[in-house]
Amino acid sequence: MINSALDIVGVVEATSRVLRARILDGTLAGDAAVTEAWVAAEFGIARPSAKAAIEQLVASGLLVRTAHRSARVAAIDARMVRDVYRTRARMESMALRELAVDARIPAAAVAANDEISALPPGPDAATVDPDIRFHTALIDGIESERTSRMYRTLLDETRLCMAQVQDRRLLDAHDIAAQHRAILDAVRNHGGDLASRLLHEHLGSAEERLVDALSA
């Protein structure tokens, strides 16, 4: 009985992971219907397992469900982009101020930024993953399990924004690395307020590029 329950959990988690990947890489477009019947047939699983996988993604914000309707991939708009990025800025600013108190520099943030610095100059989609790891490392640096968990849900919505805007209008890789270094230098010098201001400018620029791309 226990093994059967564990098997079901494994099926649900695996299905949820694949669906999540398809949403975040744009295979499942914004507003696409994700029904229990389709998921069950696509993955060869029982309807209850399909429903559980869908509900996981509804909880994370990648799928939305309204009364008497099937779940659909969340469709982004300018309002959502602004809310996602400004919420990120609030959370990361809090983390930077805490880190700056004793000048803590997360090693993972430095390593991620070194990856960006090593890329050739110019816009490059290869910056996206280390950029997200840089920002995640700032949050993880304050060592709050709940804050880190909440932030990762927000990052799913960030990736969703990127997936649905094909022209991401990325910054030059070296400009991104320089902005990150300035943030870390402020933390290293106990400059929590400066680090927060630089972060708001950095994320605000990304927010505006995505909103502009949506308009285009």
- Per-residue pLDDT of 89-105, as tens digits, reads 999 999 999 999 999 99
Same structural domain, 34 and 117? no
- Of 104, 147, 112, 161, whose CA–CA distance to 132 is shortest? 112
Same structural domain, 161 and 197? yes
Same structural domain, 101 and 64? no
Supply the pLDDT for residue 4. 46
- Per-residue pLDDT of 23-74, as tens digits, reads 888 888 888 899 999 999 999 999 999 999 999 999 888 888 877 788 998 8
Distance CA(158)–CA(52), nearest Å, equals: 23
Same structural domain, 19 and 117? no
Same structural domain, 98 and 205? yes
User: 21: exposed, middle or buried (C-beta count within 10 Å: 0-12, 13-18, 19+)?
Assistant: exposed
**Domain stops at, among 28, 57, 73:** 73
Give me the number of domains the chain comprises.
2
> Taking the alpha carbons of 104, 194, 171, 18 in that order, is the dihedral positive or negative?
positive
Same structural domain, 9 and 87? no
**Domain stops at, among 53, 73, 93:** 73
Distance CA(57)–CA(17), nearest Å, equals: 9
- Per-residue pLDDT of 127-152, as tens digits, reads 888 999 999 999 999 999 999 999 99
**Domain stops at, among 24, 58, 73:** 73
The token duo for 121 is: 């100059």
Q: Look over the chain and give the mean of its residue pLDDT values, rounded to a whole number.
A: 88
Q: Is the pLDDT of residue 11 over 80?
A: yes
Residue 166, domain CATH? 1.20.120.530
Q: What angle do CA 154, 79, 174 make, to 5 degrees?
A: 60
| Segments forming the whole domain that contains residue 26 | 2-73
Question: Are residues 55 and 17 in contact, defined by beta-carbon separation less than 8 angstroms?
Answer: no
Same structural domain, 84 and 191? yes
Same structural domain, 89 and 165? yes
**Beta-bridge partners for 73:** 63
Rounded alpha-carbon distances, angstroms, from residue 15 to 8, 10, 28, 204: 11, 9, 14, 34
Three-state DSSP class for 191?
A: coil
Question: Are residues 189 and 197 in contact, defined by beta-carbon separation less than 8 angstroms?
Answer: no
Same structural domain, 42 and 84? no
Our measurement of the distance from residue 111's CA atom to the centroid of its chain's CA atoms, rounded to an integer in Å, reads 19
The token duo for 32 is: 């696409």
Supply the pLDDT for residue 65. 87
Task: State the DSSP string of 71-85.
Answer: EEEPPP-HHHHHHHH
Same structural domain, 194 and 149? yes
Same structural domain, 21 and 117? no
